[in-house]
Amino acid sequence: MNDRVAIRVERLSKEFTFGGQRVQALREVSFSVETGTMVSVVGPSGSGKTTLVNVLGGLDSPTAGEVWVEGRPIHVLREADLTEFRRRRVGFVFQAYNLIPGFSALENVGLPLEFDGTPRRRREERARECLELVGLPPSRHRHTAARLSGGEQQRVAVARALANDPAFILADEPTGNLDSANSDIIVNLLASLAREQGKTVVMVTHDRSLAARAERVFEMVDGRIL
């Protein structure tokens, strides 16, 4: 194993029990991802894409197997350490409606920094930087989520994922509710983050042409990577 490896997954399984029924969302998945790479995850609905991303980001814990991220054993970390991991190393982008309503774009982007005690001025400064990076015009910085278009909202979400300067960006169908023009903008943005800032990006999508923009494409079927 070399130190360019950012994510290493070994025989990862995740089983849900729901109403007495067992669902194997992930079946002994193994792979690794190098630092600064963008990978996309495609597959039919229910194939385990969201589950995989959640486990990688420490939002969910595996049933079996190992997940190593930057040498950290995510599969054995306790809640407090997982919180610390998400706070410092990971940026999440979800499908839609993942901004806090009533908060301005600027406040939404500054939010992750509130949890590590970054002072107000520094938060605002950083939020502005990130919004600039995703191309939201300054005139919109003080708009609340409800007053932004879907494309603008997702750009704010990407900016928020960048606020804590994470090593990993985990994006679960970030273009799910966007038209193709806006989808392009978001995927280009994620790709440039990997290429120019060396961030490791994992993007789930249904759109094969968007998936093809990543350096690697993971095809998932029934909890396995093909």
Partner 1 sequence: MRNIYRGFRSLRRNLARTTVILLILGLVACLSLAMLAVERGVSSRVAEVEATVGTLIDVRPAGAIGPGPDGELLPLELVDDLALLDGVADVVPLLVARTADPSRPGSGEPMQGGPRFGSFTLGVEPDRPLSVPGGGTVEIVSGRSLEPGDAGRAVVVVGALLASERGLAVGSTVEFAGRDFEVVGIHESESRMGRSAVFMPLDTAVEVLGLGGLTQVTVRVTSIGEVDAVREAILAAWGETVDVVAQKDSFAGRFEETLGNLRATSRIGLLLSLIAAGAVVFGTMFLVVRERSREIGILKAIGAGRRDIALQFGAEAVALSLIGALIGVILLGLIGPSVASAVVSLAGQSAPAVGPGGGPAGAGLPGGGMPGAQMFMARQGVGVLLGSLDITVTWALAACAAAGGVALGLIGGLVPALAAANLKPAEVIRGE
178/189 Cα distance (integer angstroms): 14
Q: Which stretch binds ligand ATP (CB under 6 A): 4-12, 27-35, 44-52, 123-131?
A: 44-52
Q: Which stretch binds partner 1 (CB under 8 A): 37-45, 90-98, 135-143, 208-216?
A: 90-98
19 binds, among ligand ATP, partner 1, Mg ion, none (CB under 5 to 8 A by kind): none
- Is 34:10 a contact under the CB 8 Å cutoff? no
**Residue tagged 């990130």 (tokens):** 130
Binder to ligand ATP among 22, 45, 119, 146 (CB under 6 A)?
A: 45
48 binds, among partner 1, ligand ATP, Mg ion, none (CB under 5 to 8 A by kind): ligand ATP
> Which strand ranges, in their side-by-side order, compose the sheet holding 200-204?
90-93, 168-172, 200-204, 38-42, 216-221, 224-225
Among positions 187-216, residues that touch partner 1 (CB under 8 A) are none
- Is 67:9 a contact under the CB 8 Å cutoff? yes
Residue 2: Cβ within 10 Å count: 7
Binder to partner 1 among 98, 104, 153, 200 (CB under 8 A)?
A: 98
Size of the residue set binding ligand ATP (CB under 6 A)? 12
Residue 50 as a binder of Mg ion (CB under 5 A): the answer is yes
Radius of gyration of the chain (CA): 17
Q: How far is the CB of 201 from partner 1 (least distance, A)?
A: 16
